[in-house]
Structure 1
Amino acid sequence: MKRNSASGGLVYSTEAGRMCPGCRKPVADCICKLLKAPPKADGPARVSRETKGRGGKTVTVVRGLALDEAALARLGKQLRTACGSGGTAKDGVMEVQGDHCERVMQLLGQQGYAVKRAGG
C-alpha cells in the first residue's frame, strides 16, 4: 500500500487499485462522479464557426448544452458521424471539424434541443 504524504490519503491499494482522491474509494466505486451535477444551461445551445487559433482550419463549435461529460461525448459522436468528420467533446464544448453549422443545428433541433446560431 502506498500513501501520498502530501494529501495524507491512500492513492493506490493492491486490493482495489487506484483510489479516488475526492471520496477515498476505489475508482470503480467512486461516488464523486455520481454526485457531480451536470452543468446548467443558460439558454439555447449556441452553434458557431471558428477558425481562430487553429491554423486557418474551420471548426463548428457547440456551446451551452446542459449535459455531463459522458452524454456530451455520445452526442458529439452522433454529430461527427452525421457530418462525416472528426472532432472532440471536452469541457462542455463540442467541436466538429469543418463548416457544418446548418447540419449540426438541424440535428440538434431534431433531438429536441433549443438551438441558436452564434457569430458570423
Structure 2
Amino acid sequence: MEICNKCGLPKDLCICEDLSKETQKIRVYTNTRRFKKLTTVIDGIDPKNVNIKELSQKLKTKFACGGTIKDGRIELQGDHREEVKKLLVSYGFSKDLIELKS
C-alpha cells in the first residue's frame, strides 16, 4: 500500500488534491487569436496538485471543443467562461476564488 508523502494517508484515501482545489486562485478569461477566433484561457491551476491533463480532457469533452495545455494554462477554443466556472465549482474548486475576466 502506497502512502502519500504530504498527508500521510494511503494513496486511495489521499485528500491533498481536494484541499489544494479549495485554495487555488483561478483566472478564466478570453484571448483573441488569429482571424478573430476566441479562446478561453484557464490560468492558476497548480499542475503539481491537480491532474491538469485529465481536467483539460474533461473540459474539452464537455464543451465539444479543441484545446491545449501551454505553460500550465488550459486553452479551449471558443468562449466558455461562464460554463467553465460552473464546471470547475462542480469539480470541487472554490467558487469565490474563480475570477472571470473578459
Identify the TM-score tier after normalising by the shorter chain.
0.5 to 0.7
Match of 2:14 in 1: none
Unaligned ranges ≥5, structure 2: 1-19
1:1-120, aligned counterparts within 5 Å? 43-51=24-32, 53-68=33-48, 71-114=51-94, 115-118=98-101, 120=102
Contact 2:47 2:72 in 1 (8 A): yes
Displacement after TM superposition at 1:54 (Å): 3.0
Q: How far apart are 1:43 and its partner, in Å?
A: 4.6
Higher relative contact order (CA 8 A, sep 6+): 2
Structure 1's consecutive aligned runs of 4 or more residues displaced over 6 angstroms after TM superposition are: none
Conserved? CA contact 2:40–2:77, under 8 Å = yes
Q: Give the secondary-structure state (helix, strand or coil) at the position aligned to 2:56.
A: helix
Q: Could you list the runs of 5+ residues in structure 1 that have no partner in the other structure?
A: 1-39
Q: Distance in 1 between matches of 2:64 and 2:29?
A: 18
Between the aligned partners of 1:90 and 1:73, the Cα distance in structure 2 is: 11
Superimposed CA distance per residue, residues 66-85 of structure 1 (whole angstroms, 9 cap, x where no aligned partner): 124x8111100100100110
RMSD: 2.5
* TM-score, normalised relative to structure 1: 0.58
Q: Which of the two has higher C-alpha Rg?
A: 1
Paired residue total: 79
How does the TM-score come out when normalised to structure 2?
A: 0.67
What is the identity percentage for the equivalent residue pairs of Structure 1 and Structure 2?
35
Distance 1:71 1:55 in 2: 32
Q: Which residue type is aligned with residue 46 of structure 1? A: R
